[in-house]
Amino acid sequence: MKYLRRRLLAPYHYLWAVLAAAWYRFPARSFVVVGITGTKGKSSVAEMLFAILTMAGHRTALAGTIRFAAAEESRPNLFKMTLPGRGFIQKFLAEARAKACTHTIIEITSEAVLQYRHLLLDLDALVFTNLQKEHVESHGSMENYARAKFKIGESLATSPKRPRAIIANADSPYAPPYLALPVEAHIPFSFADARETAISEERVSFHYKGVPFSIPQPGDFSILNALAAVKTAEWLGVPLAVCAKALAGLARIPGRTERIDSGQDFLAIVDYAHTPDSLRALYAAFPNRRKICVLGNTGGGRDRWKRSLMGQIADEACEKVILTNEDPYDEDPYGIIDEIALGMRRPPEIIVDRRAAIRAALRAARSGDAVLISGKGTDPFIMGAHGAKTPWSDAQVVREELERLLA
C-alpha cells in the first residue's frame, strides 16, 4: 500500500521540485553546493564542514537534520525530517543567496530522493559516509534503499557544475559505485588516512598529511567524520591548518554524543544512535564506565527487524537498561518495547514515560558512571497516534532532571 501510494504521488512531488526551483530562479547555481548522504554521520560531517568553511572566511549555509543556518543566522530543524518537501530546499537556497552565501551544505536522505527533493540542487560535490541496513520497510528492501541513495550520486554526475567531486568512505563496501561516478575528482577517505590516532571519552586526535588534528568529539567514528569533512574542504581549497584550527574549536554537536554537564559526578550523554552499528559505537565510546542505558531507538511503523537486536546490544553493553518510548506513531508503545525486550537475556526495567525513564536512569547513577540516552538526539517531538506531536528535547529534559537531582 505504501509503495502504491508513493507511485501515485510521484508526479506531484516531481512537479513540486521542478516548479520550486524555477520559481526561486534556480538558486543552487549561485554558489558551491556540497551534498552529504549516508546512513550515519551526515549531521556530524555537515557541522564539521560548516565550521571549517566558516573559519576559512566563506559565508556558508547549512540545511540538515539538526538545524538550518545561513552565515550568522541559525534555527533548529523542527520538521522531524532532514530535508523537508514542498519546495523547502529551493526556498532555503534562495534565502542563502540573498544573504550572499558562497557555499551551501545539504544533508540528503533516501526518503528525500523518493520525493525528488534532490533534483536541481546542482551539486559541486557529494560526500558518501556509509550505508547500513535501515528504512527497509519504507524502501521495500535493502537493495532498494541502496538504489535510492545512489540516485544522489547520479545527480552529482548529471550536475552542470565543473569540476565535481565525490568524497566516499572507502571502508564501506558500498563505496565502489560512488568512486566510479563520471566526475572530475574521486576522493576516498578511510581510517588508514589517519596516523598517530588517539581516542578518549573527551576527544579524538590524529595526524593527516603531517598536520595534527584534535577534535572535541569522542569515538573512533569521529575520526572518519572529520576525515570526510577535511578532505572535502581540502578539495575546496581550504588549507589543512585552517581545517585543524576549525575542528579544534568545534562546539559539541547537539544530539551527537552530546554531554550534559550540570556539575554531577557522572556522565550524562544524549545521542541519536538509530541503527545497531551506531548504538554499538555509542556504547564503545565509553569502554571503562558502568553504563546505565535509556533505550528507545525504534519508532513505530518502521524497521521492526532491528528492535530485538537493539535490545540485545544494550543488554550486552549496559549494566542497567531502561526501555522507554520514542516515536510510536500509531503503534502500541508497549508492543514496541516488548519486541525490543525479546533480544535481552536479563529483564529490563520498563518505564514508558520518557521523562520518568531519564529521571530513573540519572537517579540510579553512581560516581563515574555513564548514563547514555539514545534514540532521539535533537528530535523536537515525540510522535504519537493520529499525528499527535509532543514537543520534546532529550537534552533539556536531562538538564531539568539533573537540576532536580542536584538541588
Q: How confident is the model at residue 137 (pLDDT cuts 50, 70, 90)?
A: low
**Helix axis angle, 333-341 to 307-317, nearest 10°:** 60
Residue keyed to cell 559565508: 59
* pLDDT tens digits along 322-336: 999 999 999 999 999
Which three three-digit cell numbers place residue 360? 530513573
Q: How many helices (H) and strands (E) does the chain have?
A: 14, 19
CATH number given to 258-406: 3.90.190.20
Q: Which residues contact 256 (CB under 8 A, 6 or more apart)?
A: 43, 44, 217, 271, 272, 377
pLDDT, position 63: 98
Burial of 2 (0-12, 13-18, 19+ CB in 10 A): exposed
Q: Where are the domains of the chain?
A: 9-248, 258-406
Q: What's the whole-number mean pLDDT along residues 147-175?
A: 96
Q: Under DSSP, is residue 262 helix (H, G, I), strand (E, B) or coil?
A: coil
With 80 as the cut, is the pLDDT of residue 9 above it? Answer: no
Bridge-partner residues for 37, per DSSP? 128
Q: What's the whole-number mean pLDDT along residues 18-29?
A: 96
What is d(CA 381, CA 371) in angstroms, rounded to the nearest whole number? 22
> 332: which DSSP letter?
-
Which three three-digit cell numbers place residue 59? 559565508
pLDDT, position 4: 54
Q: What's the whole-number mean pLDDT along residues 216-244?
A: 97
Q: Is the pTM of this model over 0.85?
A: yes
Which three three-digit cell numbers place residue 320? 542497567
* pLDDT tens digits along 252-298: 899 999 999 999 999 999 999 989 999 999 999 999 999 999 998 67
Residue with more model confidence, 113 or 240: 240
Which CATH superfamily does the domain covering 9-248 fall into? Mur-like, catalytic domain (3.40.1190.10)
Pairing of strands 267-271, 258-259: antiparallel
Question: Is it true that the peptide bond before 347 is cis, omega within 30 degrees of 0?
Answer: no
**CB of 277 within 8 A of CB of 380?**
no
Which three three-digit cell numbers place residue 27? 538558486
Q: Does an H or E element contain 224, and which?
A: helix 221-235
* pLDDT tens digits along 52-67: 999 999 999 999 999 9
Which three three-digit cell numbers place residue 234? 581540502
Mean of the per-residue pLDDT values of the chain:
94
Residue with more model confidence, 134 or 213: 213
What is d(CA 142, CA 137) in angstroms, rounded to the nearest whole number? 9
